[in-house]
Amino acid sequence: MAAKRFFYVDRLMSAVRRNGLVEAITGIRRCGKSHLHMALIFASVFAMMLCANDGKSHVRNRYRFKDIKVPVTVYYDAATPIENGSRCRTAVILIHGWGGHVRKLFPVFNAALAARADGVEPVPYVIAPMFPRRATLEKNPDEAYDGRAVWNDSWAKKANNVPGLASDDWRGGGDANGTNFSSYDYIDRILCRLGDKTIFPELRRIVLAGFSAGGQFAGRYAAIGRGAVREGIDLVYIDMSPSTEFRFEKNDPWHYGLKGRPRYGASLTDGDIMKNLCSRRVWRGCGSKDTLGRPHTALDMTPAAVRQGKNRLERFRSFEKYLDAYPDWKRQTSFHVFDGIGHQEVLAYPAKEVLDFVFGVENQGTATENSDKNF
């Protein structure tokens, strides 16, 4: 079995060099569909390094979001500008992690989507909005402070066990520094644009997906986000490997619980939030080896976070048990453990279970499932 796995990986890498990542993976799928998932998992790390020189891959371009109702300068990554539209049936709003970019993930995920579509249906449109912190602007070579909206100034000099303010934390719907523009307001405007039937006439499904800090973002938006889409479009959520989970606890501070919500969600009642949680479909995943803490990952070690568990996997398992007290909420939630991977988004996103959910092919069951059947 191991020899067969690496045979397919070698085929994929050779095809990437010859023809480009998307065409290579699609070709392998046509030659041997049963081996697509294993090839994707083993090849993702190599593929992301090759994508920079792969002119035929989905290119990650940076665009300014143009909307008269957006009072600040914000950007997003996508293959094409959102105003160009698409005849896709599915769109993915891809939320970056604490590092503030999707440079490695974007080509790998787009290639996996293209392979999964296999020419039978349009490849989903992927848009990755940016929520920069000053630290990410300094560290990322393709970023610069040019007057754009910036979040999380109150967190900049805090120790990892001392939280900043909810009011400017992009992960939980906080406002950009010095503005009344929330990170969740940005999502609402993207949803509005995707809902424009003149440019996305065939759209039927939108997936708000995040990993790590992006998972925190997606899970909290499912709780308090407006989630307004046009009739005929389903909005669903993917929340993978978050540092912490939102819990329906009146005395825990946002974004761990209900207390002290930022401006965006301040007008909602606790009942409104529970109604959202019981009506919004969320797919949750975590790696079986996602057990490392600091300094290896940016794991939240504030008191409210530590109460949820020692690491991401433990917090993931604990949250599944927590939902036993809320059967209607749990009914909308699926839990999946990726066998054999740690805190690695480039291995999680191409997984068959994630792609199935993106394309609307899923098992509605809520019990935790493992992906070891693929290995």
125-129 and 75-78 strand pairing = antiparallel
pLDDT range class, residue 4, cuts 50, 70, 90: very low
Please state, in angstroms and rounded to a whole number, the distance separating the CA atoms of residues 16 and 44. 11
Range scoring the smallest mean pLDDT among 51-60, 250-259, 263-272: 51-60
Only one residue has tokens 């398992």, namely 317
Structure tokens at 227: 């989630």
Averaged pLDDT for residues 322-339: 98
CB 200 within 8 A of CB 83: no
The predicted-structure confidence for 68-108, as pLDDT tens digits, reads as follows: 999 999 999 999 999 999 999 999 999 999 999 999 999 99
Task: Determine the average pLDDT of the residues in 346-369.
Answer: 83
pLDDT one-digit tens code per residue, 103-131: 999 999 999 999 999 999 999 999 999 99
pLDDT digits (tens, 9 = 90+) for 213-257: 999 999 999 999 999 999 999 999 999 999 999 999 999 999 999
Query: How are strands ordered across the β-sheet holding 282-287?
Result: 61-64, 75-78, 125-129, 90-95, 205-211, 234-240, 282-287, 333-338, 369-370
In CATH terms, 60-374 corresponds, of 1.10.10.10, 3.40.50.300, 3.40.50.1360, 3.40.50.1820, to: 3.40.50.1820
Which one of 35-39, 53-57, 68-72 scores highest in mean pLDDT?
68-72
Residue 48 has a pLDDT of: 44
How much of the chain, in percent, has pLDDT values that exceed 70? 79
Dmax over CA atoms of the chain, in Å, equals 58
Look over the chain and give the mean of its residue pLDDT values, rounded to a whole number: 86
Name every residue whose Cβ is closer than 8 Å to that of residue 218 and which is 6 or more positions away in sequence: 95, 208, 209, 210, 237, 238, 239, 282
pLDDT of residue 331: 98
Q: Report whether pLDDT(39) > 80.
A: no
pLDDT at residue 370 greater than cutoff 80: no
- Cα separation, 83 vs 272, in Å, equals 32
Name the residue with higher pLDDT: 54 or 86.
Answer: 86
Of 51-55, 120-124, 280-284, where does mean pLDDT reach its minimum? Answer: 51-55
Q: Where are the domains of the chain?
A: 1-57, 60-374
pLDDT at 10 over 70: no
Rounded Cα distance between 75 and 145, Å, is 12
